[in-house]
């Protein structure tokens, strides 16, 4: 994909490629839009990351930040790294910090980094240390405080391990259920992916009274139509490494989670999991896209015509970037959770109400709102 293939009225504003032959650094930064503020988006480290992938993710961040009413634009970054580089802590630190130093003229004035695939709180600490500015990134360790706001002993770094994305997904699900007249108390839920997002989404939905009947990870699906004990399930995952070791459940193949007779289906892991092959087998009344691009807009349109309510990814999973904003402002985790709940509830309702009013699918309504805000 060449630059002219995806450039439009919204961006991208900056396409930066960083090379350091001496250490083998090959990095990409795309700042799609700064109309609402500095570009916000994580850094991923994979062997295959390229400009086209980073652009698509940066554009999604533009819409996500606009819809969440944050003073951030959209951006994303990537570092090409071999599996060996990703596993080697010393090597990884060298690449992260070299990338950070190279981007110093742009960070944090035009770009604020964050965690993404194969990066987390440790990598964010390395990044901001190399930059020298606390605001260079979000997702830092909880014990990192900035002198301006942080009090001694107070936790104000907010790593993804706090589960802000899953927390937001749970609240998005509650709003969507209310929208179609479904009582969340007792509503059946299947969650594809039991990583950081899926684990927290299941825990919070369980607290709200929903019945989690199926969860999956890379090894299979644990299913019990009477409901799973989520607290016990989390312990099994931690101890045995997979949900398939949960004894009070039927073991299914991964693809079968999309075919279960549930009220709510939450794809929370891999992209492109709802396909032409399985879309007609979906029985859920609501699909909440906790993971990024779990399907295509075309398939969403087909589900919409069938009466399935689909809450788009950049609406449902915005809890992470809202958390980033709270950290950027120097707020503590308690204030962060309050902000995520308030914004997710408000914006999911706004999108679903507008979709109903204009008789369009929720993604179209969300895009219209986000584009209006960016243009303004």
CB atoms within 10 A of CB 112: 26
Q: Which two tokens stand for residue 310?
A: 């689909």
Please report the pLDDT score of residue 155 as a whole number.
67
Say yes or no to pLDDT of 146 above 70: no
Please report the pLDDT score of residue 160 as a whole number.
66
Please report the pLDDT score of residue 142 as a whole number.
78
Say yes or no to pLDDT of 172 above 60: yes
Please report the pLDDT score of residue 360 as a whole number.
96
Say yes or no to pLDDT of 175 above 70: yes
Contact of 143 with 63, CB cutoff 8 Å: no
Cα separation, 100 vs 127, in Å, equals 6
Establish whether domains 3-61+70-140 and 164-375 are of one fold: yes
Q: Which two tokens stand for residue 331?
A: 């707020």
Beta strands 220-223 and 250-252 are antiparallel
Predicted confidence band of residue 376 (pLDDT cuts 50, 70, 90): confident
Predicted confidence band of residue 145 (pLDDT cuts 50, 70, 90): low
Predicted confidence band of residue 153 (pLDDT cuts 50, 70, 90): low
- Of 40, 64, 76, 92, the catalytic one is 76
Contact of 40 with 66, CB cutoff 8 Å: no
Say yes or no to pLDDT of 352 above 60: yes
CB atoms within 10 A of CB 148: 8
CB atoms within 10 A of CB 310: 27
Predicted confidence band of residue 276 (pLDDT cuts 50, 70, 90): very high
Cα separation, 171 vs 344, in Å, equals 7
Please report the pLDDT score of residue 151 as a whole number.
64
Predicted confidence band of residue 150 (pLDDT cuts 50, 70, 90): low
Contact of 315 with 348, CB cutoff 8 Å: yes
Give the best-scoring range by mean pLDDT among 84-93, 133-142, 330-339: 84-93
Q: What is the mean pLDDT of residues 269-282?
A: 94
Alpha helices (runs of H) in the chain, residue ranges in sequence order? 3-6, 51-67, 83-87, 89-102, 121-131, 164-179, 196-207, 230-240, 297-305, 313-316, 319-328, 333-358, 362-375
Domain ranges, ordered by start, for the chain: 3-61+70-140, 164-375
Say yes or no to pLDDT of 154 above 90: no
Contact of 176 with 288, CB cutoff 8 Å: yes
Contact of 30 with 81, CB cutoff 8 Å: no
More confident residue, 174 or 269: 174
Q: What percent of the chain has pLDDT over 90?
A: 82
Contact of 281 with 261, CB cutoff 8 Å: no
Answer yes or no: CATH 3.40.50.460 is held by domain 164-375. no
Contacts 24+ apart (CB under 8 A), 255-262: 256/221, 256/223, 257/190, 257/192, 257/214, 257/216, 257/221, 257/223, 258/190, 258/192, 258/282, 259/283, 260/190, 260/213, 260/214, 260/223, 260/284, 261/188, 262/188, 262/189, 262/190, 262/213, 262/214
**Model pTM?**
0.88
- For 298-329, the pLDDT digits (tens) are 999 999 999 999 999 999 999 999 999 988 88
Please report the pLDDT score of residue 149 as a whole number.
56
Give catalytic status of residue 76 as yes or no: yes
Among 86-95, 139-148, 220-229, the range scoring the smallest mean pLDDT is 139-148
Cα separation, 232 vs 241, in Å, equals 13
pLDDT, the chain, mean: 93
Cα separation, 64 vs 76, in Å, equals 12
Q: What is the mean pLDDT of residues 194-211?
A: 95
Predicted confidence band of residue 271 (pLDDT cuts 50, 70, 90): confident
Q: Which two tokens stand for residue 283?
A: 């029985």
Contact of 172 with 313, CB cutoff 8 Å: no
Architecture, CATH, for domain 3-61+70-140: 3-Layer(aba) Sandwich (3.40)
């Amino acid at each position: 994909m060449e630059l002219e293939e995806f450039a439009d009225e919204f961006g991208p504003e900056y396409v930066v490629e960083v090379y350091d032959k001496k250490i083998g650094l090959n990095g990409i930064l795309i700042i799609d839009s700064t109309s609402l503020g500095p570009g916000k988006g994580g850094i991923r480290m994979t062997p295959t990351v390229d400009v086209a992938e980073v652009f698509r993710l940066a554009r999604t961040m533009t819409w996500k930040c606009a819809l969440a009413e944050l003073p951030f634009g959209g951006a994303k970054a990537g570092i090409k790294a071999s599996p060996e580089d990703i596993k080697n802590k010393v090597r990884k630190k060298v690449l992260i910090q070299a990338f950070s130093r190279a981007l110093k003229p742009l960070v944090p004035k035009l770009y604020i980094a964050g965690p993404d695939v194969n990066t987390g709180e440790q990598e964010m600490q390395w990044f901001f240390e190399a930059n020298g500015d606390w605001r260079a990134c979000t997702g830092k360790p909880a014990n990192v405080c900035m002198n301006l706001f942080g009090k001694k002993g107070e936790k104000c770094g907010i790593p993804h391990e706090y589960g802000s994305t899953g927390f937001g997904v749970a609240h998005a699900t509650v709003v969507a259920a209310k929208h179609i007249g479904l009582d969340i108390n007792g509503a059946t839920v299947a969650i594809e992916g039991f990583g950081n997002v899926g684990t927290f989404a299941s825990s919070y939905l369980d607290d709200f009274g929903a019945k989690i009947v199926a969860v999956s990870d890379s090894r299979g699906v644990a299913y019990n139509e009477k409901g799973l004990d989520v607290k016990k399930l989390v312990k099994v995952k931690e101890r045995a490494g997979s949900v398939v070791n949960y004894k009070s459940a039927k073991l299914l193949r991964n693809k079968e989670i999309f075919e279960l007779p549930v009220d709510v289906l939450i794809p929370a892991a891999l992209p492109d999991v709802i396909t032409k092959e399985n879309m007609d087998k979906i029985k859920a009344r609501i699909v909440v896209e906790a993971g990024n691009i779990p399907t295509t807009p075309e398939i969403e349109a087909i589900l919409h015509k069938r009466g399935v309510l689909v809450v788009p990814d950049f609406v449902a999973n915005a809890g992470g970037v809202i958390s980033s904003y709270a950290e950027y402002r120097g707020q503590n985790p308690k204030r962060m959770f309050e902000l995520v709940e308030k914004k997710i509830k408000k914006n999911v309702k706004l999108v679903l109400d507008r979709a109903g009013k204009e008789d369009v699918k929720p993604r179209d309504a969300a895009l219209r709102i986000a584009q209006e805000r960016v243009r303004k």
